[in-house]
Amino acid sequence: MEKTINSKLLRWYKKNKRDLPWRKLKKNSLPNPYYVFISEYMLQQTTVSTVNKRFEEFINNWPTINDLAKTSEEKILIFWSGLGYYSRARNLLKAAIIIQKNFKGIIPDHYDNLIILPGIGDYTAKAILGIAYNKPTMPVDANIERIIARIFALNSLIKKKILDRSEKFISKKSSTNLIQAFMDFGSIICTPRNPNCTNCFIKDFCTSYKKNIQNDIPQKLKLKLKKKKRYSRAYIFFNEKNEILVRKRHSVGMLASMLEVPNDNWVLSKKNLVKDKLAHKLKNKFISKGSIKYSFNHFDLETEVFFTKVNKSLFTNHIWIKKNNLNKSGLPTIMKKIVKIAI
Ligand code: SF4
């Protein structure tokens, strides 16, 4: 049965594969390993459509692993703005430096050499091996997990069973195409909600379809943990040249080393807010511009935004960014949002 499903998926993939920039084939009919490597970092926690829009820009900036290894953390963090989860960018840079030093600039083609790289776990190592090097493996992402769980009507909370089943689908010869076929099939036909079972070419093998339980899989954890809330206040210092004062965050913790506008520490209760030192020193009156809510993975941040006009000459040794240059400033998304509601 697994072989038949694989053949059907491969035939379907030939005609229906998504045209994605990191999939361009080289003479050996495999994608460029560097492109696959970059795309896998970018795709962790970010949607295909967002990565699709930014991938070519990344490759134009850093066409090879050696170019990437030479760049600064600051430059890659500026590029990463809008993609979120900045630790990926830092890990990507660290991994590029290791690959340049220890692997002569060639993306490793062995699991043991990939898994030691910062930011690479079991899934990413297998995805690189399977997609870039056609090695027989099965990286189980959310798409593949859902398809397998539905075909066998498995409880998708039992990961071990799904992993065991997925290994039966490993292809010795067509791993690269099969993995990508599974991924595309999961995005186009066996979608998370309302899968297109009527037009599904493997429905005869699908237990969930036969039992009409395909919409109940994957099961979701019923008890969704309530996210914690944190509070802050942010201060927009706007000068006569239409510039905004920014500074660098600490090198550890959330949004490490990124730019920010002055803001109070993010605290669990409003009554614990302590006014930012720079804002505190300034005798100007701040005008409240309302507040914004921003959702991080583990907590929601509510920030009240204040605005004041200042004279640039009073702030020597500070970083200023042009109001018109906000999108290319390297400010993380939350800070851009804060600035946007103030001006
Ligand atoms: S029949 Fe429906 S649930 Fe089963 S594999 Fe096809 S699309 Fe997915």
Distance 150 CA to ligand 1 centre (A): 7
Residue 127 covered by a domain: yes
The structure tokens listed for 262 are 């002055």
Tell me what pLDDT residue 216 has. Answer: 81
CB 51 within 8 A of CB 81: no
Per the listing, tokens 């998370």 go with 192
CB 92 within 8 A of CB 117: no
pLDDT band at 177 (very low <50, low <70, confident <90, very high): very high
72-124 pLDDT tens trace: 988 998 888 888 888 899 999 999 999 999 999 999 999 999 999 999 999 99
2, 40, 57, 240: the active-site residue = 40
Over pLDDT 70: what percentage of the chain? 97
Residue 222 covered by a domain: no
As a whole number, mean pLDDT of residues 4-28 equals 91
Q: Do 72 and 196 share a domain, yes or no?
A: yes
Query: Where among 160, 194, 216 does a domain terminate?
Result: 216
Average pLDDT over the chain reads 91
Residue 40 covered by a domain: yes
Q: Do 54 and 200 share a domain, yes or no?
A: yes
283-331 pLDDT tens trace: 888 999 999 999 987 899 999 999 999 999 988 889 999 998 888 788 8
Binding site membership of 200 for ligand 1 (Cβ less than 6 Å): yes
Burial class (CB in 10 A: 0-12, 13-18, 19+), 64: middle
Least confident of 25-29, 279-283, 333-337: 25-29
Query: Where among 216, 251, 266 does a domain terminate?
Result: 216
pLDDT band at 225 (very low <50, low <70, confident <90, very high): low
The torsion angles phi and psi of 156, rounded to 5 degrees, stand at -70, -5
Helix (H) / strand (E) element for 289: namely strand 287-295
Domain that holds residue 252: 228-342
* CATH of residue 89: 1.10.340.30
Q: Do 78 and 209 share a domain, yes or no?
A: yes
Whole-prediction pTM value?
0.76
The structure tokens listed for 182 are 């599974």
Q: Do 29 and 147 share a domain, yes or no?
A: yes
User: Which has more pLDDT, 26 or 309?
Assistant: 309
Q: Return d(Cα 62, Cα 99) in angstroms, integer.
A: 15
Annotate 3-42 with three-state secondary structure: HHHHHHHHHHHHHHCCCCHHHCECCCCCECHHHHHHHHHH
Longest distance between any two alpha carbons in the chain, whole Å: 75
pLDDT band at 236 (very low <50, low <70, confident <90, very high): very high
Q: Do 238 and 276 share a domain, yes or no?
A: yes
Tell me what pLDDT residue 182 has. Answer: 96
As a whole number, mean pLDDT of residues 227-255 equals 92
Mutational pocket test of ligand 1: of 9, 203, 219, the residue with most ligand atoms within 8 Å of the beta carbon: 203
Binding site membership of 96 for ligand 1 (Cβ less than 6 Å): no
Query: Where among 216, 243, 277 does a domain terminate?
Result: 216
Q: Return d(Cα 223, Cα 157) in angstroms, integer.
A: 13
User: Which has more pLDDT, 70 or 80?
Assistant: 70
Tell me, yes or no, if 40 is annotated catalytic.
yes
Residue 112 covered by a domain: yes
Q: Return d(Cα 30, Cα 179) in angstroms, integer.
A: 13
* CATH of residue 276: 3.90.79.10
The torsion angles phi and psi of 291, rounded to 5 degrees, stand at -130, 160
Closest ligand 1 atom to Cα of 202 = 6
Q: Return d(Cα 113, Cα 116) in angstroms, integer.
A: 6
Distance 49 CA to ligand 1 centre (A): 23
Q: Do 77 and 193 share a domain, yes or no?
A: yes
How many domains does the chain fold into?
A: 2
The torsion angles phi and psi of 22, rounded to 5 degrees, stand at -85, 0
Binding site membership of 203 for ligand 1 (Cβ less than 6 Å): yes
Q: Which amino acid is at 132?
A: A
Tell me what pLDDT residue 224 has. Answer: 54
Tell me what pLDDT residue 223 has. Answer: 47
Local structure of 70: helix, strand or coil = helix
User: Which has more pLDDT, 113 or 27?
Assistant: 113
Tell me what pLDDT residue 15 has. Answer: 94
DSSP label of 128: I
The structure tokens listed for 108 are 């490793």
Q: Which amino acid is at 230?
A: R
Residue 75 covered by a domain: yes
CB 176 within 8 A of CB 131: yes
Closest ligand 1 atom to Cα of 146 = 8
Closest ligand 1 atom to Cα of 206 = 4
